[in-house]
Amino acid sequence: MLQTMTNSNDWKSWLGKSETNIALIDARQAELMAATFDMQIPKKGDALPPCWHWAWFNVAKPHSQLGRDGHPKRGGTGLLPPISLPRRMWAGGNIEFLKPILVGTEITKKSTIERIAEKKGNSGALCIVTVLHQLFDGEELCIAEKQNLVFREDPKSDAPKISPPAPPQEPQVTRIISPDPVTMFRYSALTFNGHRIHYDVDYARDVEGYDGLVFHAPLTATLLLGLAKEIAGKEITTFNYRATSPLFGHEDFTIHGKQDGDKITVWAQTPNGAQAMIAEAN
């Protein structure tokens, strides 16, 4: 039973709610992203690498309007409804890349709430919010993305341990990822992500119950999409991904991939061999 949330009918007024943001895909921000990923710097007129759009369009709320976790408080004038569950996770989504976004162009992003679902899971109450993001260059749709956000209860000492799923087998490509505090800090800064689980280890451990600083889910997805592009030898047009277990900033993890016909499967694996994120791309 959700203590301060009411029944699902109370979320009906939030379905279809939208907001629009406009951003210049400026060369300076692209340069900073390239430095973070240790990649060649895109110049004006170049295509923005896949998933780099997450470094733009982030709404800046005053510090007084932030919640305990560093994210903007939910409800009020914001897009997200006033869900009382305190823990927020980027759980996955799917992306269609329809037209390249070029550095130097002005892009309009429209975000719309498509679905709100309350559930009772093994770890307690959950609320899943699906947001559709559409990025336009003028009238042309460049990216259509559905993002799933999960809100959860605080961890309980007597909660049952949940075993993460086993990853796929027989990868054709494997890479070792060594997280470091500087990369995580830079990525948080460039995406204007104030979520304290990524930089405040005491908060991550003592309040949200993690083993350490949490490696960003969208950063994991970006790495997986890059691996899928490497395997395919071409640009990726669709990318469906799902986070299944957290990764941490104090330990190496691996990403893997394999191709079967037109289907490419990529996944991230924790140091103990559990599946952390899985994605399909083509």
| 44-66 residue pLDDT tens | 999 999 999 999 999 889 999 99
The rounded distance, in Å, linking the Cα atoms of 257 and 232 is 10
Q: How far is CA 52 from CA 98, 100, 143, 163, 172, in A?
A: 15, 12, 12, 32, 26
The rounded distance, in Å, linking the Cα atoms of 38 and 41 is 9
Q: How many structural domains compose the chain? A: 1
Residue 12 makes CB contacts below 8 A (sequence gap 6+) with: none
Is this prediction's pTM over 0.85? yes
Asked, for residue 81, whether it belongs to a domain, the answer is yes
Asked, for residue 2, whether it belongs to a domain, the answer is no
Asked, for residue 190, whether it belongs to a domain, the answer is yes
Instruction: Answer whether residue 1 shows pLDDT above 80.
Output: no
pLDDT digits (tens, 9 = 90+) for 187-228: 999 999 999 999 999 999 999 999 999 999 999 999 999 999
Model confidence band, residue 7 (pLDDT cutoffs 50, 70, 90): very low
Question: Which residue carries 């890479």 as its tokens?
Answer: 175
pLDDT digits (tens, 9 = 90+) for 178-189: 999 999 999 999
* Percent of the chain residues past pLDDT 70, beyond the cut: 96
Model confidence band, residue 164 (pLDDT cutoffs 50, 70, 90): confident
User: b/e for 102-122, b at 16 or more Cβ within 10 A?
Assistant: bbebebbbebbbeebebeeee
Q: What is the mean pLDDT of residues 5-16?
A: 73
Q: How far is CA 80 from CA 72, 153, 173, in A?
A: 9, 17, 39
Please state, rounded to an integer, the average pLDDT across all residues of the chain: 93
Instruction: Answer whether residue 157 shows pLDDT above 90.
Output: no
Looking at residue 75, what is its pLDDT?
84
Looking at residue 135, what is its pLDDT?
98
- The boundaries of the domain holding residue 72 are 8-281
> How far is the first Cα of the chain from the last one, in angstroms, to the nearest whole number?
40
Does residue 133 contact residue 154 with C-beta atoms inside 8 Å? no
Q: Give the domain CATH number at 12.
A: 3.10.129.10
The rounded distance, in Å, linking the Cα atoms of 144 and 217 is 19
The rounded distance, in Å, linking the Cα atoms of 173 and 190 is 29
Q: What is the mean pLDDT of residues 162-180?
A: 94
Model confidence band, residue 76 (pLDDT cutoffs 50, 70, 90): confident
Asked, for residue 3, whether it belongs to a domain, the answer is no
Looking at residue 2, what is its pLDDT?
36
Instruction: Answer whether residue 9 shows pLDDT above 60.
Output: no
Six-digit token pair at 26?
């400026």
